[in-house]
Amino acid sequence: MNLQHYFQQLSTDYTLLIITLGTGILGGLCGFLGSFAVLKKQSLLGDAISHAALPGICLAFLIAGVKDTHWLLLGALVSGIIGTVWIQGIVSRTYLKQDTALGLILSLFFGFGLLLLTFIQKMDNANQAGLDKYLFGQAATLMAQDVQIMLWVSLISLFAVLLFWKEFKILLFDIEYAKTIGLPTKYIDIFLTSLIVLVIVMGLQTVGVVLMSALILAPAAAARQWTNKLWIMVLLATLFGALSGISGTALSASFSQMPTGPVIVLSASVIVLFSFIFSPKRGILMREIRFRKSRRAIKLNKALSLMYRIASKHENVLVPHGKRMLNDFKGYSNVIFKKLERQGLINYRQNSWSLTEKGFEKASNLYNQLGKDE
Amino acid sequence: MNNAQIEIQLIAALVAAACALPGTFLVLRKMALITDAISHAILPGIVLGFFITHDLNAPLLIVMATLTGVLTVFLVSYTQKTGLVKEDTAIGLIFPALFSIGVIMIALRANDVHLDVDAVLLGEIAFAPFDRLVWLGVDVGPKSMWVVGTVLFISVLLLNFFFKELKLSTFDSGLSASLGFSPVLLHYGLMTLTSVTTVVSFEAVGAILVVAMMIAPAATAYLLTKDLRKMLFLSAFFGVLSAIAGYWLAHFLDASIAGSITTILGMLFLGVYLFSHKKGWIAVWYQQKQQKLEVSLITFLLHIHNHDLASERHIRHLREHINWHDVTANAVLKLAQKNNFISIENGLVSLTDKGLAFTKQAITYIMDNHTEGIESMKQKFFLFRG
């Protein structure tokens, strides 16, 4: 199956449509809420939460005895929240830093989850098959029911964010001010984090524990490069997330043996890379171009100011001078003369140069400014 | 115990000790999460090496995976230096991308390569004793035991040589740079060591649990001591202890050894976190409660000192005036009475001589901004603490 084939199939193949819808909604939702996580400087919290959800999934299975998506999600949610609370407890009660706390909870919870998982697998229970799909995720197992849950969560998050838009915004950018005007910052923070935990837990089934955090981070990090406005960033991140979800599914369906989760993450990474390089204001490419331009301008100004110093020693400042001195002793090439002439700052002949009126005026201003600094 | 069991425990203990040493420095340098990044991002290096050598313990594979790890660190710091995103975001962007590349590489060649993502991510130490090292025709033990042992030996050696440089650059990077120890060199040296350790450990405990082996013992030790040498020994000790205890837990439950080791590490951390003598959760909670009550007491004494009017000094009025709950007010009154700071007659509170002396000294300390002096003053006056 190739890409074209995939799009033809989309209208007829119900399963494929569900999976595409699911990953698209999931990606969009991750980008939507991920924007807040990234701006809150909690990028890696998602990583910790997704790993911390594993023991919850296993315990929920042990208690319920059946592999019911709702139960497992609930378990994941509870243990994800416990992990988050514990991280905050470690940071506030001990002098261990945020990174250590995140790494600790991430690995310890995951290890405990692994213990439970292998314990369950050794039990004689036919139901357990497929629990380990939460490790790497399997988009192919998405069902209409899962997509329905995703839709509900999306609606709830959208509603919540619209309702508390200005509270969230002030929490992100000026938490001290938010406290001063009496907002319950603690509760808003908990609410926002719970939403993020919810979406992470939902995505585990599709992209898995390991790669979930990237889906939260990448669209938001990419969107950040294009704008300084929150609502545009959130919108862009949603778009980027949905795009990487859908394109990931399309690519992995088009080539056999391609796992969906990693392909989604790689699609998102490509968007990030593109944004890093080509974003008009912050991008690496534009920055390099601006840097080169200003370096060239400085070089020209240096040449011009040297000419001004030579010229100003003479009665008539516009009199021609030989160019050999500048060429041989100062290392200025003919290219620079030509460039200056093109800008109308000097007259350039075979072996001599002279300042024009415009050039003299510009150079004297330049010279004045330099003199003031010294 | 049969031979294989002893060998597994030995390998687990070696892995634990080898991870604990660089882990200690990573925790102290606030770079704990870089282990998470390295342990995931080495996957493409491992896969590529495995395609070539078909042996997880081959030197070429170890070198390639280590280089991938160092490359990850470089990419993270490059991304961070562009200023486009914060450091933790940079980590979170780089390692999933590299990990995904690794997973896809495995998936594409699944038919002719016997390498499982599960195996890389979760590890299986139980199989380690089957891969033997034969030297001069003699079976000298499992290969991974020798590999991990060598890495541990090298890191102990390096640690001995560069102990004071590492110590200095960890705690005062500015000073160490001005004394001429290149921070970049030390940083990448430590990162290379971390990568090598991760690479040789992942086969035994898996990529994610390497993170636990590096961070958890060090964090636990950090809660117990402030001495770098002690911290190194303690974290190695905790690591080895959990490795052996974890093996037996796994044996008992018939579950994953790596998962059990991590669970023991987690319980150790939880225990220390809750009950550590000075910095544990309960100790800190108790200290904060004590502090709160004692600050309230001083506020209360100052209030009494300021007012001579009988109406201002009545117990009931105090509750309204300072706006405390009854519980707090009672606790403060009781503490003050126990320490002989006040006497209560007909519901009127007045300072005793001792209370007056205490209050006056407290005022001087507060006026002079010598608030740290209050702690020693408390030692002198208090019979009972809050």
CATH number of domain containing B111 = 1.10.3470.10
A368 pLDDT band (50/70/90 cuts)?
Answer: low
Q: Taking a contact as any Cβ pair under 8 Å apart, which residues of chain A between 86 and 145 contact chain B?
A: 89-90, 93-97, 99-100, 102-104, 106-119, 122, 132, 135-136
In this prediction, residue A373 carries a pLDDT of 46
pLDDT at B202: 80
User: Are B93 and A257 a contacting pair at CB < 8 A?
Assistant: no
- φ, ψ at B348 (rounded to 5°): -100, 130
- Packing angle of the helix pair B3-28, B163-171 (nearest 10 deg): 50
DSSP B314: B
> CA-based Rg of chain B, rounded to a whole angstrom?
29
Distance from CA of B258 to the nearest CA of A (A): 7
Do B110 and B19 lie in one domain? The reply is yes
One domain, residues B260 and B114: yes
- pLDDT computed for residue A367 by the predictor: 63
Residue B29: DSSP 8-state: T
- Which CATH number do you get for residue A260? 1.10.3470.10
Q: What is the pLDDT of residue A165?
A: 92
> Domain for residue B386, yes or no?
no
Which structure tokens are listed for A45?
Answer: 């919290």
Mean pLDDT of chain A: 84
Question: Residue A142 sits in which domain range?
Answer: 3-282
Cβ pair B11, B247 in contact under 8 A: no
Tens of pLDDT, residue by residue over A56-108, are: 988 988 888 777 778 888 898 899 989 988 888 888 877 888 889 999 998 89
A178 and chain B in contact, CB less than 8 A: no
3-state secondary structure at position A321: strand
The answer to whether residues B16 and B139 belong to one domain is yes
Residue A13 near residue A6 (C-beta atoms within 8 A): no
B246 and B361 fall within a common domain? no
- The C-alpha atoms of residue B308 and residue B70 are separated, in whole angstroms, by 72
Q: Which residue of A has its CA nearest to B272?
A: A94
CA of B279, closest CA in chain A: separation in Å? 6
Q: How far is Cα A231 from Cα A212, in angstroms, rounded to an integer? A: 24
What is the predicted pLDDT for the residue at A371?
52
Structural domains counted in chain A: 2
A192 and A48 share a domain?
A: yes
Q: Are residues B201 and B267 in the same domain?
A: yes
β strands within A216-305, DSSP E: none
Q: What is the mean pLDDT of residues A260-285?
A: 90
Taking Cα atoms as reference points, which of A22, A54, A45, A26 lies closest to residue A209?
Answer: A54
Q: Using only C-alpha atoms, what is the Rg of chain A?
A: 30
Q: Are residues A95 and A230 in the same domain?
A: yes
The closest of B232, B166, B169 to B20, measured between CA atoms, is B232
Residue A176 pLDDT exceeds 80: yes
Assess contact for A271 and A240: CB atoms under 8 A: yes
Contacts of A221 in chain B (CB under 8 A): 84-85, 89, 93
CB atoms within 10 A of CB A258: 16
Residues B212 and B331 in one domain: no
pLDDT above 90 for A159: yes
pLDDT tens column, A276-290: 999 888 888 888 899
Residues of A in contact with B216 (CB under 8 A): 104, 107-108
pLDDT per residue of chain B (386 residues) written in tens, 0 to 9: 677 888 888 989 999 999 999 999 999 988 888 888 898 888 898 888 888 887 777 788 888 989 999 999 999 988 888 888 887 888 889 999 999 998 888 888 766 666 676 767 777 777 777 777 777 777 777 888 888 899 999 999 999 988 888 888 888 888 888 888 888 888 889 999 999 999 888 877 777 778 899 999 999 999 888 889 999 999 999 999 999 999 999 888 888 888 899 999 999 998 888 887 676 777 778 888 888 888 888 888 888 777 777 777 777 776 666 667 777 777 777 888 787 788 777 777 777 888 888 888 878 877 777 767 777 777 777 777 76
Query: How close B124 gets to chain A, by Cα (Å)?
Result: 12
User: For residue A274, is pLDDT > 90?
Assistant: yes
**Predicted local confidence at residue A374, as pLDDT:** 41
Q: Which has more confidence, A103 or A309?
A: A103
**Cα gap B271→A108, rounded to integer Å:** 14
Residues B267 and B369 in one domain: no
Q: Do B335 and B210 reside in the same domain of the chain?
A: no
Whether residues A278 and A293 fall in one domain: no
Complete DSSP assignment for A113-154: HHHHHHHHHHSS-GGGTTTTHHHH--GGG--HHHHHHHHHHH
Length of chain A: 374
What CA–CA distance (Å, rounded) separates A51 from A76?
10
User: What one-character-per-residue DSSP string does B363-386 give?
Assistant: HHHHHTT-TTHHHHHHHHH-SS--
Q: Each residue of A195-207: pLDDT tens digit? A: 888 888 888 888 8
Give the range of the structural domain holding residue B314, as residue numbers without chain letter: 282-381
Among A254, A282, A310, the domain-final residue is: A282
In a domain, B61, yes or no: yes
Final residue belonging to a domain, choices A229, A257, A282: A282
What's the helix, strand, coil split of chain A in %, to 5?
Answer: 80, 0, 20
Q: Which residues of B133-163 are buried (b: 16+ CB within 10 A; e: fewer)?
A: eeeeeeeebbbbbbbbbebbeebeebbeebe
Residue B315 belongs to a domain: yes
Comparing CA positions, the residue from B207, B219, B197, B191 lying closest to residue B76 is B191
Residue of B nearest to A96 (CA): B219
Q: Which residues contact B121 (CB under 8 A, 6 or more apart)?
A: A135, A210, B206, B207, B208
C-alpha dihedral sign at B189, B191, B192, B198: positive
